[in-house]
Amino acid sequence: MAAPPMFQPLTFRDVSLPNRAVFAPSPSSVGSTGQPTNEQLERLADLGTNGAGLVITEPVAVSENGRISPGTPGLYADDHCDAWTDPVNRIHQSASTVVGIELFHAGQRGAKQPRSHGLDRPLPESEAWELLSASATPYTPRSQTPKPMSEDDLDRVREKFVAAANRADAAGFDLLQLNMAHGYLLSSFLSPLTNERDDEYGGSPENRLRYPLEVFDAVRAVWPDEKPIAVKMPATDYRPKGFNLGDAFEVGSKLEEHGCDLLTIVAGQTTSNDRPRFDTNVLARYSEQIKNKLNVPTMSTNYITSTDGVNTQVGSATSDLCQWYPDDVDVNSLESN
């Protein structure tokens, strides 16, 4: 008998996933300095030994000023690299799970209080740091206004991504995902709602993609050829005159041409006043449309909570991978059923 769709292996470059389930925790803020805490590292190790084909870290900042909050973990110092090496090695020693890292810069959504204090609440001025973004567009009316990135800023942040990618490889990660969504720095260039630039990085969709693509190319150049790179990208801003599905087709096509191996499809959160659709299948439909239009592998983030959901989406070719949100489920225990 053929294995269910969920347990069909999938290979990107030289990296093979044993199944199609993906665990990717949401951002946390339990630390205070950017150094990954034991709690954050243990969460990754625990998820990585529960049988998913792929586990990806929570968003990891490429610079101190790229954090969401003081407790956002980073990979911008050598001791950060040493900290991430331990859970990666533990997963590799005990499971066939592929281990990925998501790199990002918070941009306009940085310098926030921990989420336990409320979503996107800015830090007190005495504790905040300077924010960078494509343009001077604060994320919420009460947020700090970010500095539009200068040429020096563009170069410096791009090199921060490159340095973090080198450390991720040294730490033993198998896959790297760049976050170009959810209102963070690279996302702020893609959306016409947050990119008001009048230089070569603003205006047309091609120009708005220019800087995120430069970052991707720089990272791809140092990331080993045998290891895949994924990009988390929006399908829509959920706002009139914002980034839309047509833009997503264009961005995804360019990323594929430049060596992107997987597109993780999300939507919204580019601005704080978006109008999201709460249809339980909307993200899966976006994943399917992008996958079929571009013929590129996609990951659905449609809040799947059961093996039936993963089997349905993979079996119907809605997506190649499914981010899964199980409640204390060990995938290993399901494989023989």
Q: Tell me how crowded residue 137 is: count the other CB atoms within 10 A of its CB.
A: 20
Q: What distance in Å separates the CA atoms of residue 241 and residue 192, rounded to the nearest whole number?
A: 7
Task: Please say if 184 is a catalytic residue.
Answer: yes
Burial class of 233 by CB neighbour count within 10 A (0 to 12, 13 to 18, 19+)? buried
User: E strands within 187-318?
Assistant: 229-234, 262-266, 298-304
Burial class of 91 by CB neighbour count within 10 A (0 to 12, 13 to 18, 19+)? buried
Burial class of 185 by CB neighbour count within 10 A (0 to 12, 13 to 18, 19+)? buried
Two tokens, residue 197: 């630039």
Name the active-site residue from 139, 184, 211, 238.
184
Distances from the Cα of 284 to the Cαs of 230, 287, 296, in angstroms?
17, 5, 15
User: E strands within the chain?
Assistant: 10-12, 15-17, 21-23, 54-61, 98-104, 132-133, 147-148, 175-179, 229-234, 262-266, 298-304, 321-324
Q: What distance in Å separates the CA atoms of residue 322 and residue 308, rounded to the nearest whole number?
A: 11
Q: Which of 312, 314, 311 is nearest to 298 (CA)?
A: 314
Residue 299 φ then ψ, to 5° = -115, 125
Any idea how long the chain is? Answer: 337
Active site residues: 184
